[in-house]
Amino acid sequence: MSSTRNFDMRRYLHRRSHNWTVLALATSATALALLVLAAILFKLVWSGLSAWGPAFFTMNMPPPDRDGGLANAILGSVLMTVAGTAIGTPVGILAGTYLAEYGRGSRFAQFVQFINDILLSAPSIIIGLFIFQVMVVPMGHSSGWAGSVALSILMIPIVVRTTVDMLALVPNGLREAAAALGTPKWKVVTSVCYRAAIQGMLTGIMLAVARISGETAPLLFTALGNDSWTWNMNAPMGNLPLAINKFVNETSEIWNRLAWGGALLVTVAVLALNIAARSIVNIGSVKR
Amino acid sequence: MTDFDQANRLTAEGGHKRAGAFLEFVELFVTARGRRRLPDAAFQLVTLFFTIVVLAILGGIIFYLAEGSVLAFRTYGLGFLYTSVWNPGAEPMKFGSLAPVYGTVMTSIIAMVIGVPLSFGVAIFITELCPTWAKRSLSTAIELLAGIPSIIYGMWGLFTVVPILQEHVQPFLIATLGHAPLIGSLFAGPPLGVGVLTAGVILAVMVLPFISSIMRDVFETVPPMLKESAYGLGCTTWEVMWNIVLPYTKVGVVGGIMLGLGRAMGETMAVTYVIGNSSRIAPSLLAPGKSIASTLANEFNNTSEPLYLSSLIALGLILFLLTFIVLAAAKVMLIRLQRQAGG
């Protein structure tokens, strides 16, 4: 009898230690992930902050070993992100509206959502190649517009997805109440459903903007990059990711410093947008 | 009842639905009731149009990549798929996709081998161990990892991870695993820092937030009753995870892993910075290599030679088809889990 008890005890201890080991590993995996996040941010601040000065934001990209800044690249990034957002948002919202309001449950809508989810994770460099073929080759030159369209194509699937998800959360009672008052369907959608889902849709748009404002690969072949200040979106256009890419691996110390400064700026902007997007939803749920 | 209604009904009864739809369309412009419905129909049509735009994007990508790669496939035939020579300097130029495809597949496999257990650990910690008050901020922090742009991972990889790997990890691997039977050749050669293994390590970090957040989501679909029953029988947390939660959610977990794999295969800038850019397929994981995406990023802008461009676009087509298959499989699995959870 006592031997069975000993045996059980051993087994119990074994199971318990096994459990502790695995849970300790899980905890260290989480710690490692947080450590990586901290290490990246630390490295960016350490190497990038010293580049931030008046010149960084006001001067253009310099030739090697001259003083300069990233003003033209910042302008280009802002212009292309705004244009990309302006193209991508309406397309994404309207397509999402059809899928959620008109096609809900239909085979066609399910198929489109399936394709949309694949586009959501499609390699961004492929989007760059596609726009190169569609816009750069026929136009004969790279341009800020081509870059903007490439960014908008990255954005559309994200906006479609969040629009569909958020419209699906709007209770049917709201639609029925509006319809019972004789409201035409388009009015129900735009004044009732959109209004109910606006916070979630805004979050989706901001996450999409965050995503596209740090993208490098789709701009390589489309916007090409440009070292001088220009508002002309019909010509090659400078932007932050490509400026970083150009400067980071060179021997010029000033270029290196600018690259890290740019990297810090891009990351701060992207993470701030990310956090802001999430907090919209938070505030909303608290109010409700 | 208007004439149009009657006509509609008659045609519908007769089975001529197309004629019915046509009459409905005409009705919009002719009758008073139709004119009131015009904005409605217009709105529906506009939204339908943009839905088709989404489909057209996918169709356009496949069409234009295929069109662009015609020259390469006409020149090299199917040999393009299985030759490993990538030499734009040769006369005439010689291109085969094997080296970049090998790099893409190998870096993604390494990323999964390292990244999946890590993601599983993070998912376990967040669902089972983390105190409730820290759950939200911890999830946000992990998701911020997904927000950091690819190029930043590349720079961090090149300037922080590469020196660490070169000075500490790789000499250790060469001294220990390098002499092991069977797998020894995978860890042979000088510790360069950059290479296929390094790219895999960086990719593992990059896919971690995607995989762990899907795992977390699917773990939450497990009915609490099942878990509580197991705990009630005296199971440990790990036994509940391994014997109850994982079997219940395995389709979703595999779907999440495939989604991460799809991401890893297409990742460009991070890989470009640390893979070392060599067109040779080396047996060692420590050796430099190239992936499809890194080849495109490095070489596409340096040439206007039609055959070179076409070969690069053909590489892009291969990458797109590979990721398409992986992502479609991932999606099918996640949909299956959803059905299971719903029904």
Cross-chain residue pair A185–B51, CB shorter than 8 Å: no
- Closest Cβ–Cβ partner in B39, B236, B269 for A184: B39
Cross-chain residue pair A271–B147, CB shorter than 8 Å: yes
Same domain, B56 and B197: no
For chain B, how many structural domains are there in total?
Answer: 2
Q: What is the pLDDT of residue A287?
A: 41
Residue with tokens 């870096």: B107
The answer to whether B337 and B251 are in contact (CB under 8 A) is yes
A131 contacts in chain B (CB < 8 Å): none
Q: What is the pLDDT of residue B283?
A: 87
d(CA B133, CA B74): 61
- Closest Cβ–Cβ partner in A29, A102, A267 for B152: A267
Same domain, B249 and B278: yes
Q: What is the ipTM of this complex?
A: 0.92
Q: Beta partners for B94?
A: B87
Same domain, B153 and B8: no
Asked which of B39-43, B109-113, B116-120, B292-296 is least confident by mean pLDDT, the reply is B39-43
**Burial letters for B131-152: b for 16+ Cβ neighbours within 10 Å, e otherwise?**
eeeeeeebbebbbbbbbbbbbb
B297 contacts in chain A (CB < 8 Å): 125, 217, 220
Q: Which is nearest to B57 in space by CA: A269, A160, A189, A36?
A: A160
- Closest Cβ–Cβ partner in B51, B125, B268 for A95: B51
pLDDT at B23 over 60: yes
Longest dimension (CA), chain B: 89
Same domain, B167 and B210: yes
**How many CB atoms are located within 10 Å of the residue B258 CB?**
23
pLDDT at B282 over 80: yes
Give the pair of three-digit tokens for residue A27: 């905890």
Same domain, B283 and B220: yes
A126 contacts in chain B (CB < 8 Å): 61, 65, 266, 316, 319-320, 323
pLDDT at B13 over 70: no
The vertex-A45 CA angle with A44 and A48, nearest 5°, equals 70
| pLDDT averaged over every residue in chain B | 89
Q: What is the pLDDT of residue B5?
A: 55
B54 contacts in chain A (CB < 8 Å): 91, 95, 112, 115-116, 119, 156-157, 160
**How many CB atoms are located within 10 Å of the residue B215 CB?**
27
What type of residue is B341?
A
Q: What is the pLDDT of residue A59?
A: 92
CA B105 to chain centre: 12
For residue B224, the domain's CATH number is: 1.10.3720.10
Q: Which is nearest to A70 in space by CA: A50, A55, A81?
A: A55
Torsion of CA A215, A216, A222, A227, to 10 degrees: 120
Q: What DSSP assignment string belongs to B185-246?
A: GGG-S---S-SHHHHHHHHHHHHHHHHHHHHHHHHTTS-HHHHHHHHHTT--HHHHIIIIIH
The vertex-B85 CA angle with A242 and B71, nearest 5°, equals 70
Q: Tell me whether residue B217 is exposed, middle or buried, using C-beta atoms within 10 angstroms of its C-beta: 0 to 12, 13 to 18, 19 or more.
A: middle
Q: What is the pLDDT of residue A9?
A: 83
d(CA B47, CA A217): 30
d(CA B23, CA B5): 9
Size of interface A-B (CB pairs under 8 A): 253
Residue that terminates a domain, selected from B41, B74, B107: B74
Torsion of CA A175, A176, A180, A185, to 10 degrees: 40
Same domain, B172 and B98: yes
Residue that terminates a domain, selected from B23, B43, B74: B74
For A237, phi then psi, to 5°, come to -130, 135
Give the pair of three-digit tokens for residue B202: 């960086």
d(CA A69, CA A227): 10
d(CA A141, CA B54): 26
d(CA B62, CA B48): 22
pLDDT at B8 over 60: no
Alpha-carbon torsion B136, B142, B144, B146, what sign? Answer: negative
d(CA B26, CA B45): 15
Same domain, B183 and B316: yes
R_g of chain A computed on alpha carbons: 25
**Closest chain A residue to the Cα of B152, Cα to Cα:** A263
Same domain, B173 and B112: yes
- B63-78 pLDDT per residue, tens: 999 999 999 999 999 9
Residue-number span of the structural domain to which B52 is assigned: 3-74
| Closest CA–CA distance from residue B275 to any residue of chain A (Å) | 14
Same domain, B50 and B151: no
**How many CB atoms are located within 10 Å of the residue B177 CB?**
14
**Closest chain A residue to the Cα of B141, Cα to Cα:** A34
pLDDT at B100 over 70: yes
Same domain, B96 and B54: no
- Closest Cβ–Cβ partner in A19, A133, A249 for B238: A19
What type of residue is B336?
R
**Closest chain A residue to the Cα of B50, Cα to Cα:** A95
d(CA B47, CA B92): 51
Give the pair of three-digit tokens for residue A111: 């198929």
Residue B341 pLDDT class (50, 70, 90 cuts): low
d(CA B63, CA B73): 15
What type of residue is A206?
M
Alpha-carbon torsion A278, A279, A282, A283, what sign? Answer: negative
Residue that terminates a domain, selected from B44, B74, B104: B74
Same domain, B168 and B209: yes
Cross-chain residue pair A241–B55, CB shorter than 8 Å: no
- B116-175 pLDDT per residue, tens: 999 999 999 999 888 988 888 899 999 899 999 999 999 999 999 999 999 999 999 988
B259 contacts in chain A (CB < 8 Å): 121
Q: What is the pLDDT of residue B14?
A: 47
- Closest Cβ–Cβ partner in B47, B149, B158 for A266: B149
A132 contacts in chain B (CB < 8 Å): 300
Q: At what angle do helices B246-266 and B306-342 cross, to 10 degrees?
A: 160
**Closest chain A residue to the Cα of B36, Cα to Cα:** A184
Mean pLDDT of successive 10-residue stretches along chain A, which has 288 residues: 63 91 95 96 94 91 88 95 97 96 91 94 95 94 95 96 93 94 92 92 93 94 91 93 91 90 96 90 51
- Closest Cβ–Cβ partner in A29, A114, A274 for B147: A274
Same domain, B269 and B151: yes
- pTM for this predicted structure: 0.90
Cross-chain residue pair A119–B60, CB shorter than 8 Å: no
